[in-house]
Chain A
C-alpha cells in the first residue's frame, strides 16, 4: 500500500492543476451554447421556408444531433484531447520517474516484488484518473444544465461522459507500456503531447476524408462521441478493440517491467 499512497501524494498537486485546467476548459465553452442554439433555430427556419427538414437532409435524428448534446459532444473532443495528454503523461511518468530521479534502486531493493510495485503504481494512477473523471463529468453536467434551455437524454449524456474514462485508461496503459519499454525516457510531457496530438489529427483526418482505414489507428475513433449521439450506444466492435488493447498494454507492461534491466545510480 505504501507505494500506492506515495504515488498519490506525489501527484496531488499535478492532479489538482489538471482538474482545474480541464474544468476551466469545459466551463470556457459552455457559455457559447445559447448562441449555438440560436444558429440552429435560424437554420431550422431557413430550411422550413424551403419546405425541407434537416432530418431529411442529413438522415439522423436532428433534435439530438443539433441539440445541447450535439454541441457538448463537439466541445468534448477538445477536452478529451487535453485529458488524454494528462493520462498518457501520467502513465509515462509513473514508471519513468524512478530512473529519471535516480530512485529506482531505492525502490527496488525494498522487500516488495516488482509485480506488487507495478500493480500499486497502476492502481494509484487509476485512482487519480477516476477522481479527474468524476470531477470533470460533474462540472460538464452542471454547466450544461445551467446553460441549456432544452432538456437532454441523461443516458446519452452519461455514455458521452464515459468516453473520458475509456480514453484515459487506454492512453494511461499505453504510457505505462512505453515507459516500460524505453528505459531512458526523459521528458515525459513532450512525448505525451506528441503522441496524443498524433492520434487527434488522425481522428480529424479520418472524419474529413471518411476513409475507414484511419479508424483503426486512433483511440478517438474507438470511443467516438459522434457514434454515441447517432446511435445512443458505443460502437461495440470498436469499443471491444479499444478495451482489449487497454488490457493488452497493461499485461505486456507488467511482463516487461518484471523482467527489465534497471541500472543502479
Chain B
C-alpha cells in the first residue's frame, strides 16, 4: 500500500509543483497590490453595481471590492474554482490513469485488494491537496496579512466590511477559517472525482465528467447565493458549504462540517465499492 502511495506522489510531483507555484504567484500578485486599490468608484465598479445580483454573485462581487473582505471573497472564489478543478481532475486521474496508461493489469495482479489500492490513491490525493492548500496559506501569509496591518488607512475599510457582513469575528481568524474550509472542500471534490472515475464506463472521458461536477457546483452556488431562500439546496454544492462570505461572518458551520465528514467517508466507501466491481480493461 505504501508503495502505491509513494508512486502516486512521485508521479504527480511535477504537476503539483507547478500548481503550487501558480497558485502561490496568483494569490501573491492579487494581494500584494491590495493597498493600492482606490476607494473611488471607477467606471468598472459602477458597472458591477448596476449588474443584476446573479451576475454579481457569479463574478464573486458580493461585497464592495475596496473592503478587504469583499476583495478576499472575490479572489478566493476564483482561486477555489481553479483548485477545486485541480482536486476533481486529480481524483479522476488517480483512478483512470491505470487504464489510460495500460498499467491496470500490472497493478491489479499485485497481492493487494482493490480497496487498498483505492485507499492508498485517496491518501496520496489528500496529501497533494493539503500541499496545495499550504501554498495558498503561505502566499496569503506573506502578501495579504502584512498588507492588512501595514496600512493604517485600511482599518476603516475593515470596519466597513465587518459591518456589512454583520460579523464580530476577527478578520485574520476568518481568513484562516476560510482556508480550512477550502481544504475540506478540496478533499470533497477529490473524492467526487474518484467516484466519477470509478463509476464511468469509459476511462477517457473521466476528466470531462470531473470538470463538469465542479462547474455544476459553481452554477448551483450562484443560484443559492443569489436567491437567499433556497439555502437547503446548498447541500448539493460543495462551493456553498464553506463559502468565504459565510465563514468570514459566522465561522465554519457545524452542520456543514458534519455533512462534509459524511460525504468524505461515504465517498471513499462508494469508490471502493464501485472499483471492486469495475470491469478493468
Binding site for B on A (CB under 8 A): 17, 29, 32, 35-36, 39-40, 43, 58, 60, 65-66, 70-71, 74-75, 78, 100, 186-187, 189-190, 193-194, 197-198, 200-202, 204-205, 207-211, 214, 226
Binding site for A on B (CB under 8 A): 15, 18-19, 22, 25-26, 29-30, 33, 36-38, 42-44, 46-48, 50-52, 54-55, 58-59, 65, 71, 74-75, 78-79, 81-82, 85-86, 89-90, 93, 97, 100, 207-208, 211
Q: Across the interface, do B50 and A65 meet the contact criterion of CB distance under 8 Å?
A: no
Chain B residue numbers with a CB within 8 Å of A226 are: 44
Q: In whole Å, how far is B141's beta carbon from the nearest beta carbon of chain A?
A: 19
How close is A109's CB to chain B, nearest CB, in angstroms? 21
Q: How far is the CA of A211 from the CA of B208 in the complex (A)?
A: 36
Chain B residue numbers with a CB within 8 Å of A207 are 44
C-alpha spacing A7/B42, complex, angstroms: 46
Contact assessment for A202 and B47 in the assembled complex, using a CB-CB cutoff below 8 Å? no
Q: How many angstroms between the C-alpha atoms of A204 and B81 in the bound complex?
A: 15
Q: What 3 A-B pairs have minimum CB-CB distances, sorted nearest first?
A: A209-B33, A32-B52, A39-B50
Residue pair B59, A193 in contact (C-beta under 8 Å) = no
Known contacts: A43-B50, A75-B55. The answer to whether A190 contacts B89 by CB under 8 A is: yes
**A211 lies within 8 A of B211 (CB):** no
Pick from B15, B43, B46: contact of A187, CB under 8 Å: B15
* Contact yes or no, B207 A187, CB < 8 A: yes
Residues of A within 8 Å of B38, CB to CB, are 210
Q: Is the CB of A189 within 8 A of B208?
A: yes
Q: List 24 A-B contacts (CB under 8 A).
A: A17-B208, A32-B55, A36-B52, A58-B43, A58-B46, A60-B43, A66-B50, A74-B47, A78-B58, A187-B15, A187-B89, A187-B207, A190-B90, A193-B82, A194-B19, A197-B82, A200-B78, A204-B30, A208-B65, A209-B36, A209-B37, A210-B38, A211-B33, A226-B44
